[in-house]
Amino acid sequence: MKIALIGGSGFVGTNLISLLSKNPNIQILNIDKQTSIKYNSITTIANVLDKPSLISSLKGIEVVILLAAEHKDNVSPISLYYDVNVEGIKNTLEAMEMNGIKRIIFTSSVAIYGLNKENPSENTPADPFNHYGKSKWEAEQVLQEWHKSHSDWNINIIRPTVIFGEGNRGNVYNLLKQIASGKFLMIGKGNNKKSMSYIGNIVAFIEFLTSKKTVGYDVYNYVDKPDFTTNDLVYHTGEVLNKHIPTTHIPYWLGMLGGYCFDAMGWILRKKLTVSSVRVKKFCAVTQFDSTKAMDSGFVPPFAIEEGLRRTLETEFGK
Protein backbone atom coordinates (compact mmCIF):
# COMPACT_ATOMS: atom_id res chain seq x y z
CA MET A 1 0.00 0.00 0.00
CA LYS A 2 1.32 3.43 -0.95
CA ILE A 3 0.28 6.08 1.57
CA ALA A 4 0.89 9.84 1.35
CA LEU A 5 0.75 12.05 4.41
CA ILE A 6 0.08 15.69 3.60
CA GLY A 7 1.45 17.79 6.44
CA GLY A 8 3.36 14.93 8.05
CA SER A 9 6.41 16.84 9.31
CA GLY A 10 4.74 17.86 12.57
CA PHE A 11 4.13 16.04 15.83
CA VAL A 12 1.28 13.76 14.75
CA GLY A 13 2.77 13.06 11.32
CA THR A 14 6.19 12.14 12.66
CA ASN A 15 4.69 9.69 15.15
CA LEU A 16 2.38 8.27 12.48
CA ILE A 17 5.28 7.70 10.07
CA SER A 18 7.20 5.95 12.86
CA LEU A 19 4.28 3.57 13.36
CA LEU A 20 3.46 2.96 9.69
CA SER A 21 7.11 2.38 8.79
CA LYS A 22 7.11 -0.75 10.96
CA ASN A 23 4.86 -2.41 8.35
CA PRO A 24 7.01 -3.69 5.44
CA ASN A 25 3.94 -3.72 3.18
CA ILE A 26 3.48 0.05 3.37
CA GLN A 27 5.36 2.65 1.34
CA ILE A 28 5.18 6.16 2.80
CA LEU A 29 5.51 9.60 1.24
CA ASN A 30 5.42 12.77 3.32
CA ILE A 31 4.30 15.95 1.54
CA ASP A 32 4.90 19.09 3.57
CA LYS A 33 5.90 22.71 3.15
CA GLN A 34 8.59 22.10 5.78
CA THR A 35 11.33 19.50 5.98
CA SER A 36 10.96 16.60 8.39
CA ILE A 37 13.54 16.47 11.16
CA LYS A 38 13.29 12.69 11.38
CA TYR A 39 12.03 11.56 7.95
CA ASN A 40 13.46 13.99 5.44
CA SER A 41 14.46 11.19 3.06
CA ILE A 42 10.80 10.43 2.29
CA THR A 43 9.63 14.05 2.34
CA THR A 44 8.65 16.07 -0.72
CA ILE A 45 8.44 19.83 -0.21
CA ALA A 46 5.05 21.09 -1.42
CA ASN A 47 2.31 23.36 -0.09
CA VAL A 48 -1.28 22.22 0.22
CA LEU A 49 -2.21 25.47 -1.50
CA ASP A 50 -0.13 24.53 -4.57
CA LYS A 51 -2.45 22.22 -6.49
CA PRO A 52 -0.05 21.49 -9.39
CA SER A 53 2.58 20.30 -6.89
CA LEU A 54 0.02 18.08 -5.17
CA ILE A 55 -1.03 16.56 -8.49
CA SER A 56 2.59 15.76 -9.31
CA SER A 57 3.47 14.46 -5.84
CA LEU A 58 0.46 12.12 -5.50
CA LYS A 59 1.21 10.00 -8.57
CA GLY A 60 1.02 6.30 -7.70
CA ILE A 61 -0.49 6.90 -4.22
CA GLU A 62 -3.41 4.76 -2.98
CA VAL A 63 -4.35 6.43 0.33
CA VAL A 64 -4.05 10.08 1.40
CA ILE A 65 -3.90 11.14 5.05
CA LEU A 66 -4.48 14.89 5.29
CA LEU A 67 -2.95 16.36 8.45
CA ALA A 68 -1.98 19.84 7.22
CA ALA A 69 -3.84 22.60 9.07
CA GLU A 70 -3.62 26.06 10.57
CA HIS A 71 -4.66 25.45 14.16
CA LYS A 72 -3.02 27.83 16.64
CA ASP A 73 -5.13 30.33 18.58
CA ASN A 74 -3.31 33.38 17.27
CA VAL A 75 -2.97 32.79 13.52
CA SER A 76 -2.71 36.05 11.56
CA PRO A 77 -4.23 36.96 9.19
CA ILE A 78 -7.44 35.09 10.03
CA SER A 79 -7.90 34.23 6.36
CA LEU A 80 -5.06 31.70 6.71
CA TYR A 81 -7.41 29.34 8.58
CA TYR A 82 -9.70 29.21 5.55
CA ASP A 83 -6.94 29.28 2.94
CA VAL A 84 -5.17 26.23 4.40
CA ASN A 85 -8.00 24.29 6.04
CA VAL A 86 -10.70 24.79 3.40
CA GLU A 87 -8.91 25.54 0.13
CA GLY A 88 -6.36 22.90 1.11
CA ILE A 89 -8.97 20.12 1.20
CA LYS A 90 -10.37 21.29 -2.15
CA ASN A 91 -6.91 21.17 -3.74
CA THR A 92 -6.23 17.76 -2.22
CA LEU A 93 -9.47 16.24 -3.50
CA GLU A 94 -8.92 17.58 -7.00
CA ALA A 95 -5.32 16.34 -7.02
CA MET A 96 -6.52 12.92 -5.85
CA GLU A 97 -9.13 12.76 -8.58
CA MET A 98 -6.50 13.62 -11.20
CA ASN A 99 -4.46 10.64 -9.95
CA GLY A 100 -7.33 8.18 -9.54
CA ILE A 101 -7.01 8.04 -5.74
CA LYS A 102 -10.27 7.27 -3.92
CA ARG A 103 -9.28 6.90 -0.26
CA ILE A 104 -8.70 9.77 2.16
CA ILE A 105 -8.40 10.09 5.94
CA PHE A 106 -8.96 13.67 7.04
CA THR A 107 -8.10 14.96 10.52
CA SER A 108 -10.74 17.46 11.56
CA SER A 109 -11.29 18.50 15.19
CA VAL A 110 -13.80 18.44 18.04
CA ALA A 111 -13.53 22.25 17.80
CA ILE A 112 -16.41 22.02 15.33
CA TYR A 113 -18.79 21.45 18.28
CA GLY A 114 -17.94 24.66 20.14
CA LEU A 115 -17.43 25.09 23.88
CA ASN A 116 -19.25 23.68 26.91
CA LYS A 117 -21.40 21.17 25.02
CA GLU A 118 -22.70 18.12 26.86
CA ASN A 119 -20.59 15.20 25.68
CA PRO A 120 -21.25 15.67 21.93
CA SER A 121 -21.26 12.67 19.61
CA GLU A 122 -20.73 12.63 15.85
CA ASN A 123 -24.45 13.42 15.42
CA THR A 124 -24.34 16.61 17.52
CA PRO A 125 -24.88 19.74 15.38
CA ALA A 126 -21.75 21.76 14.64
CA ASP A 127 -21.46 25.06 16.52
CA PRO A 128 -17.81 26.21 16.30
CA PHE A 129 -16.87 29.29 18.32
CA ASN A 130 -13.52 30.20 16.72
CA HIS A 131 -12.08 30.44 13.21
CA TYR A 132 -10.16 27.19 13.55
CA GLY A 133 -13.34 25.27 14.34
CA LYS A 134 -15.31 27.13 11.66
CA SER A 135 -12.70 26.39 9.00
CA LYS A 136 -12.54 22.70 9.95
CA TRP A 137 -16.32 22.45 9.73
CA GLU A 138 -16.27 24.10 6.31
CA ALA A 139 -13.65 21.56 5.24
CA GLU A 140 -15.89 18.71 6.41
CA GLN A 141 -18.77 20.20 4.42
CA VAL A 142 -16.55 20.18 1.34
CA LEU A 143 -16.01 16.45 1.91
CA GLN A 144 -19.73 15.88 2.42
CA GLU A 145 -20.54 17.52 -0.90
CA TRP A 146 -17.70 15.70 -2.64
CA HIS A 147 -18.97 12.32 -1.49
CA LYS A 148 -22.41 13.00 -2.98
CA SER A 149 -20.87 12.88 -6.45
CA HIS A 150 -18.11 10.38 -5.56
CA SER A 151 -20.01 7.66 -3.74
CA ASP A 152 -17.38 5.06 -4.61
CA TRP A 153 -14.76 6.91 -2.56
CA ASN A 154 -13.68 5.83 0.94
CA ILE A 155 -13.68 8.88 3.21
CA ASN A 156 -12.89 8.75 6.92
CA ILE A 157 -12.97 11.90 9.06
CA ILE A 158 -11.40 11.91 12.52
CA ARG A 159 -12.31 14.58 15.06
CA PRO A 160 -9.65 14.20 17.73
CA THR A 161 -9.73 16.13 20.96
CA VAL A 162 -6.55 17.80 22.22
CA ILE A 163 -3.55 15.54 21.59
CA PHE A 164 -0.66 15.13 24.02
CA GLY A 165 2.45 13.01 24.35
CA GLU A 166 6.21 12.94 24.57
CA GLY A 167 7.78 15.69 22.47
CA ASN A 168 4.59 17.70 21.97
CA ARG A 169 4.67 21.39 22.86
CA GLY A 170 0.97 22.14 22.69
CA ASN A 171 -1.65 23.20 25.22
CA VAL A 172 -1.50 20.05 27.37
CA TYR A 173 2.30 20.30 27.62
CA ASN A 174 2.03 23.95 28.70
CA LEU A 175 -0.59 23.04 31.30
CA LEU A 176 1.44 20.12 32.67
CA LYS A 177 4.57 22.29 32.73
CA GLN A 178 2.78 24.89 34.84
CA ILE A 179 1.45 22.23 37.20
CA ALA A 180 4.83 20.48 37.50
CA SER A 181 6.56 23.80 38.29
CA GLY A 182 4.63 24.03 41.54
CA LYS A 183 3.57 27.60 40.65
CA PHE A 184 0.22 26.69 39.17
CA LEU A 185 -2.63 29.20 39.12
CA MET A 186 -6.05 27.52 38.91
CA ILE A 187 -8.73 29.65 37.27
CA GLY A 188 -12.12 28.53 38.55
CA LYS A 189 -12.79 25.43 40.67
CA GLY A 190 -10.92 22.95 38.46
CA ASN A 191 -13.87 20.56 38.12
CA ASN A 192 -14.24 21.03 34.36
CA LYS A 193 -13.55 17.79 32.47
CA LYS A 194 -10.93 17.67 29.74
CA SER A 195 -11.16 15.00 27.05
CA MET A 196 -7.68 14.21 25.72
CA SER A 197 -5.99 11.89 23.21
CA TYR A 198 -2.60 10.26 23.73
CA ILE A 199 -0.40 10.41 20.64
CA GLY A 200 0.32 6.66 20.68
CA ASN A 201 -3.41 5.95 20.47
CA ILE A 202 -4.43 8.52 17.86
CA VAL A 203 -1.77 7.37 15.38
CA ALA A 204 -2.76 3.76 16.06
CA PHE A 205 -6.36 4.67 15.24
CA ILE A 206 -5.31 6.28 11.95
CA GLU A 207 -3.32 3.13 11.10
CA PHE A 208 -6.42 1.06 11.96
CA LEU A 209 -8.52 3.09 9.51
CA THR A 210 -6.01 2.62 6.68
CA SER A 211 -6.27 -1.16 6.96
CA LYS A 212 -9.79 -1.84 8.31
CA LYS A 213 -12.09 0.89 7.00
CA THR A 214 -11.65 0.75 3.25
CA VAL A 215 -15.19 1.55 2.04
CA GLY A 216 -17.88 4.10 2.83
CA TYR A 217 -18.03 7.53 4.49
CA ASP A 218 -17.55 7.74 8.26
CA VAL A 219 -16.91 10.37 10.92
CA TYR A 220 -15.28 9.51 14.26
CA ASN A 221 -14.67 11.48 17.43
CA TYR A 222 -11.43 10.32 19.01
CA VAL A 223 -11.03 10.55 22.78
CA ASP A 224 -9.15 8.42 25.29
CA LYS A 225 -11.25 7.71 28.35
CA PRO A 226 -11.71 8.43 31.19
CA ASP A 227 -11.96 12.22 31.00
CA PHE A 228 -9.79 14.01 33.55
CA THR A 229 -10.73 17.20 35.36
CA THR A 230 -8.07 19.86 35.80
CA ASN A 231 -7.93 18.82 39.46
CA ASP A 232 -7.28 15.22 38.32
CA LEU A 233 -4.34 16.39 36.20
CA VAL A 234 -2.88 18.18 39.22
CA TYR A 235 -3.26 15.01 41.30
CA HIS A 236 -1.75 12.67 38.70
CA THR A 237 1.15 15.03 38.06
CA GLY A 238 1.98 15.06 41.76
CA GLU A 239 1.71 11.26 41.97
CA VAL A 240 3.92 10.57 38.95
CA LEU A 241 6.56 13.18 39.82
CA ASN A 242 6.33 12.41 43.55
CA LYS A 243 5.87 16.01 44.59
CA HIS A 244 3.29 18.15 46.36
CA ILE A 245 1.62 20.54 43.93
CA PRO A 246 0.15 23.60 45.68
CA THR A 247 -2.52 25.45 43.71
CA THR A 248 -3.95 28.93 44.03
CA HIS A 249 -7.54 29.37 42.87
CA ILE A 250 -8.85 32.62 41.38
CA PRO A 251 -12.42 33.31 40.20
CA TYR A 252 -13.27 32.81 36.55
CA TRP A 253 -14.30 36.44 36.04
CA LEU A 254 -10.94 37.62 37.32
CA GLY A 255 -9.11 35.21 35.04
CA MET A 256 -11.07 36.46 32.02
CA LEU A 257 -10.35 40.06 32.99
CA GLY A 258 -6.66 39.22 33.05
CA GLY A 259 -6.99 37.54 29.65
CA TYR A 260 -8.55 40.67 28.14
CA CYS A 261 -5.70 42.74 29.60
CA PHE A 262 -3.19 40.47 27.87
CA ASP A 263 -5.21 40.78 24.63
CA ALA A 264 -4.90 44.56 24.83
CA MET A 265 -1.21 44.37 25.69
CA GLY A 266 -0.56 42.06 22.74
CA TRP A 267 -2.41 44.42 20.40
CA ILE A 268 -0.40 47.41 21.62
CA LEU A 269 2.93 45.58 21.43
CA ARG A 270 2.01 43.78 18.18
CA LYS A 271 3.14 40.53 19.81
CA LYS A 272 1.54 37.12 20.27
CA LEU A 273 1.45 36.57 24.03
CA THR A 274 1.14 33.18 25.73
CA VAL A 275 -1.90 34.32 27.76
CA SER A 276 -5.11 35.50 26.11
CA SER A 277 -8.84 35.61 26.79
CA VAL A 278 -9.37 32.75 24.30
CA ARG A 279 -6.91 30.54 26.15
CA VAL A 280 -8.47 31.35 29.53
CA LYS A 281 -11.91 30.52 28.11
CA LYS A 282 -10.65 27.20 26.69
CA PHE A 283 -8.84 26.37 29.95
CA CYS A 284 -12.03 26.77 31.98
CA ALA A 285 -14.39 25.17 29.47
CA VAL A 286 -15.82 21.68 29.72
CA THR A 287 -14.30 19.83 26.78
CA GLN A 288 -15.86 16.39 27.06
CA PHE A 289 -16.73 14.34 23.99
CA ASP A 290 -18.28 10.98 23.20
CA SER A 291 -16.03 8.45 21.44
CA THR A 292 -18.33 5.42 21.50
CA LYS A 293 -18.32 5.03 17.72
CA ALA A 294 -14.52 4.84 17.50
CA MET A 295 -14.31 2.39 20.39
CA ASP A 296 -17.07 0.21 18.88
CA SER A 297 -15.30 0.09 15.50
CA GLY A 298 -13.05 -2.80 16.50
CA PHE A 299 -10.14 -0.55 17.45
CA VAL A 300 -8.38 -1.26 20.76
CA PRO A 301 -6.17 1.59 22.07
CA PRO A 302 -2.66 0.25 22.78
CA PHE A 303 -2.23 2.57 25.78
CA ALA A 304 -4.43 3.47 28.74
CA ILE A 305 -4.64 7.23 29.09
CA GLU A 306 -3.05 7.02 32.55
CA GLU A 307 -0.07 5.27 30.94
CA GLY A 308 0.16 7.96 28.27
CA LEU A 309 0.08 10.68 30.90
CA ARG A 310 2.75 8.90 32.98
CA ARG A 311 5.03 8.48 29.96
CA THR A 312 4.63 12.13 29.06
CA LEU A 313 5.27 13.43 32.57
CA GLU A 314 8.29 11.23 33.14
CA THR A 315 9.83 12.07 29.77
CA GLU A 316 9.24 15.81 29.95
CA PHE A 317 9.48 16.63 33.65
CA GLY A 318 10.99 13.60 35.42
CA LYS A 319 14.49 13.74 36.85
Q: Which residues are catalytic?
A: 132
Give the helix/strand (H/E) hosting 132.
helix 131-149
- Across the strands, what pairs with 5? 30, 65
Is residue 122 within 8 A of residue 293, CB to CB? The reply is yes
Which residues contact residue 105 at a Cβ distance below 8 angstroms, ignoring those fewer than 6 apart? 63, 64, 65, 66, 156, 157, 158, 206, 209, 210
* 3 state DSSP class of 183: coil
Q: How many Cα atoms sit within 13 Å of 140 on the Cβ side?
A: 25
Paired sense of beta strands 193-198 and 162-164, if any? parallel
32-60 b/e (C-beta count within 10 Å ≥ 16 → b) = bbeebeebeebbebbbbbebebbbebbee
Is residue 313 within 8 A of residue 163, CB to CB? The reply is no
Question: What is the dihedral angle through the alpha carbons of 163, 165, 171, 177, rounded to the nearest 10 degrees?
Answer: 160
Residue type, 38: K
The helix, strand and coil proportions of the chain, stated in percent and rounded to the nearest 5, come to 45, 20, 35
DSSP one-letter code for 87: I
Which residues contact residue 182 at a Cβ distance below 8 angstroms, ignoring those fewer than 6 apart? 243, 244, 245, 246
Nearest one of 259, 302, 158, 161 to 217, comparing CA atoms: 158
DSSP one-letter code for 125: P
